[in-house]
Structure 1
Amino acid sequence: MVKNFPFYIKAPIILLGLVITVFILNILRDVLVPLAFATLIAILLNPLSNRLERKMPKVLSILITMIIAVLILSGLMYFLSSQIAHFFDNLDAMKQKFAEILNIAQQWLQQTFGISAQKQVEMLNDAAKGSKAVIGQTLSGVLGILSVIFLIPVYTFLIMFYKTLILNFLYEVFSEENQKKVGDILSETKAAIQSYIIGLLIETSIVAVMNSCALLILGVQNAILIGVIGAILNLLPYIGGIIAILLPVLMATLTTDGFTTQLLIIGAYALIQFIDNNFLVPKIVSSKVQINALISIIIVLLGAALWGVPGMFLSIPFIAVLKIIFDRIEGLKPWGKLLGDTIPTEHMGQIKRIRRRKPALNEKA
């Protein structure tokens, strides 16, 4: 068995397996990303579909469930688009303010670092040339999004329709003695993902309301749009919260004088983050799987490196499923503990030293 092999043989095999897995995930990203999103959506919509299926044919229940989901999403998109339309109302004033700030920044750079205005312009031109590739990637990403818009509904419908077939396959592919363990993993995974996604939706709505109210009170332009975008960015653990603060600070800088509003925005967002992290997430995002902060940050960055922005959103549910599997398999339980948020009071070295001392104490007695 592989377990009896020495470490210097097992380590290269594990690393080779990881390299091959990452390579396959990267090559097949255009297929796997919409499939992963469709799987999460199918799990989320499954309870409503099951309830409707008791009163009508399966295909009709799936279609009605998906139509309800599309209507809710369309309403949200209409609301955001109406807010985006107001963003361009004061575009000329923001351009003028941005030019003033840029002029001040150029003078400061020239006085502090001795970089002439001409040199700064050359640096900006070089940066603009380098950004052409990024613009090309963005345009290709837009085309990818259009294809995903059509693929995700199709995948979602087919996953929900062939749900029984897929579940039976997962049961039958393992031996009989492991089928109970497989059933436990599947049921726990479904419950964890459902509670996680529903909790995130509720938490995001509350954070969006708090962000928007705070920005409206402080008089920040496009407060509702920026507040909602900040709540969506907050879905990315730790990283999204930092980006969410920068948006209203930038808007306040372009539309107001002085720095009082910016400081108040930072204070308000810090308070909202405190409420979110200490009250909303523990109470509302009632996921059965808790991932520690270190692993959350690492997995989000790895997801971004592998699949871009979609990978950042998919990384946490993915690692949650892995933790459920690790916790159920004897040889992988240490990895499950590493991913978890439970911190031991003592490490194994201390426990072993205490156990060694006890016999010596007994002998002296």
Structure 2
Amino acid sequence: MAIKIKDQPFYVQSTAVLLGLVLLVYILATLTDILVPLAFAAFLAVLLNPLANRLQRYKLPRAAAIAIAMAIAILVVAAVFYFLSTQMIQFGDSLPMLKKKFGEISLNLKDWIQGTFGVAVAKQDQMVKEALGNSQAMVGKTLGGLIGTLGIVFLLPVYIFFLLLYKPLILNFLFEVFAEENSKKVSEVLSETKGAIQSYIVGLLIEMVIVAAMNSGALLLLGVKYGILIGCIGAILNLIPYLGGIIAIALPVLMATVTKDGYSTQLGVIVAYIVIQFIDNNVLVPRIVSSKVQINALMSIVVVLLGNQLWGISGMFLSIPFVAVLKIIFDRIDDLKPWGKLLGDNIPTRHIGERWGNRRKKAVGVSE
């Protein structure tokens, strides 16, 4: 006779869950080079699927429709990279001047520290050298993540093409692997997952364009050099939930420090970015990005950090849509509904313990 885990004591259930999580994390970490490109491809295939279906309505073969849809997407991405590359060429022309200016500012800062705190310049250089030495491992990890991201770019087209081509086969497998009485739930999960992924990715792209325009406009008005380039980079960093926006502020502040005298421009940049972040977090994200991906802020930050720990930069981008898919699945399975509520953004007005306490008081009052 089979023994169900849910009939076992709590410590047995928790041990089984922890062992399962450890095994899952180990598999995900071991197969990073395979799973990360496949995950990106799956999300992008869901995004391109409506375009491929629309092209098929014009009597095009499925393979040709998929190829045309991918070609359109590649052209759009190439146009964006071309625009950014022209801005980066201009930035490269001024790099020697910026390096010289940065050296002057660095020397003045060292003299100020020596005069204010009594730390000799040689001692400061030694401290900086030690700090750089200690950060080599972190830099190496970051570079490794970037190299892995570049590797993803070459695998993505292949994966996307075959995922779209074999979509009917994959869907049939998902329906057949579950019992027939669960077909309705499977259909609902697949439909909501597709809608959530499409809504999230399209929303992110729209948000990125709006934030890039606001960043660039603010920097150009403040007279910061290469405002368009820095504004676009800031918008790309802003795709990393909650953390990217903070990192993006450092770039224009550093550029203003190197190219401008005084500190009024830096203060203006900080104020402008705070206003932009307020608009982004309170207007753009709720109305554009989070229409179907209802993950609360606490869980968003936690899963982004966990994604970074597991898969680096790629994990930070994949974490939110991945958890959104999990929430859709959790909400459809009775035993996992509490986990779905934990991930969600609906805050109950009263907790269960309070309700049970009130019931107990009423019961005691009646008995008396």
TM class, shorter-length: over 0.9
1:25 to 13, 25, 28: 28
> Helix, strand or coil for the counterpart of 2:294?
coil
Any unmatched runs of 5+ in structure 2?
A: none
Cα RMSD for the two superposed structures: 1.8
Structure 1 segment 263-278 matched on structure 2, within 5 A: 263-278=267-282
Residues 289 and 324 in structure 1, CA contact (< 8 A), matched pair in contact too: no
Structure 1 segment 202-351 matched on structure 2, within 5 A: 202-351=206-355
The letter for the 2-side match of 1:166 is I
**Aligned residues: percent identity?**
60
Q: How far did 1:363 drift?
A: 6.6
The letter for the 1-side match of 2:267 is L
The letter for the 1-side match of 2:67 is L
Separation (CA, whole Å) in 1 of partners of 2:141 and 2:284:
36
2:56 to 42, 53, 71: 53
Distance of aligned partners of 1:353 and 1:132 in 2 relative to their CA distance in 1, 3 Å threshold: closer
Q: 1:14: which partner in 2?
A: 17
Residues 62 and 157 in structure 1, CA contact (< 8 A), matched pair in contact too: yes
Q: How far did 1:129 drift?
A: 4.1
Q: 2:79: which partner in 1?
A: 75
> Helix, strand or coil for the counterpart of 1:237?
coil
Give TM-score scaled by structure 2 length: 0.94
Any unmatched runs of 5+ in structure 1?
A: none
Q: How far did 1:133 drift?
A: 4.9
Structure 1 segment 80-99 matched on structure 2, within 5 A: 80-99=84-103
Q: How far did 1:176 drift?
A: 0.9
The letter for the 1-side match of 2:74 is V
Deviations 1:188-236 (CA, angstroms, capped at 9, x unpaired): 0001110111111111111110111111000000100111111111111
Residues 293 and 321 in structure 2, CA contact (< 8 A), matched pair in contact too: no
1:184 to 168, 184, 188: 188
Q: How far did 1:358 drift?
A: 3.1
Aligned residue pair count? 364
1:44 to 43, 47, 52: 47
Distance of aligned partners of 1:347 and 1:133 in 2 relative to their CA distance in 1, 3 Å threshold: closer
Separation (CA, whole Å) in 1 of partners of 2:93 and 2:355:
66
Q: How far did 1:114 drift?
A: 3.6
Separation (CA, whole Å) in 2 of partners of 1:193 and 1:360:
50
Residues 300 and 311 in structure 1, CA contact (< 8 A), matched pair in contact too: yes
Deviates more, 1:87-96 or 1:236-245: 87-96
Q: How far did 1:178 drift?
A: 1.2
Q: How far did 1:357 drift?
A: 2.8
2:165 to 149, 161, 164: 161
Q: How far did 1:140 drift?
A: 4.8
The letter for the 2-side match of 1:31 is I
Q: 2:5: which partner in 1?
A: 2
Deviations 1:246-285 (CA, angstroms, capped at 9, x unpaired): 1111111111011111111111111111111222122222
> Helix, strand or coil for the counterpart of 2:272?
helix
Separation (CA, whole Å) in 2 of partners of 1:279 and 1:129:
42
Separation (CA, whole Å) in 1 of partners of 2:281 and 2:342:
21
Residues 145 and 313 in structure 2, CA contact (< 8 A), matched pair in contact too: no
Residues 41 and 159 in structure 2, CA contact (< 8 A), matched pair in contact too: yes
Deviations 1:293-318 (CA, angstroms, capped at 9, x unpaired): 10000100000011000100000000
> Helix, strand or coil for the counterpart of 2:331?
helix
Separation (CA, whole Å) in 2 of partners of 1:331 and 1:323:
13
Deviations 1:146-187 (CA, angstroms, capped at 9, x unpaired): 432221100000000000101111111111111111111011
Give TM-score scaled by structure 1 length: 0.95
Separation (CA, whole Å) in 2 of partners of 1:285 and 1:275:
13
Separation (CA, whole Å) in 2 of partners of 1:309 and 1:57:
37
> Helix, strand or coil for the counterpart of 2:65?
helix
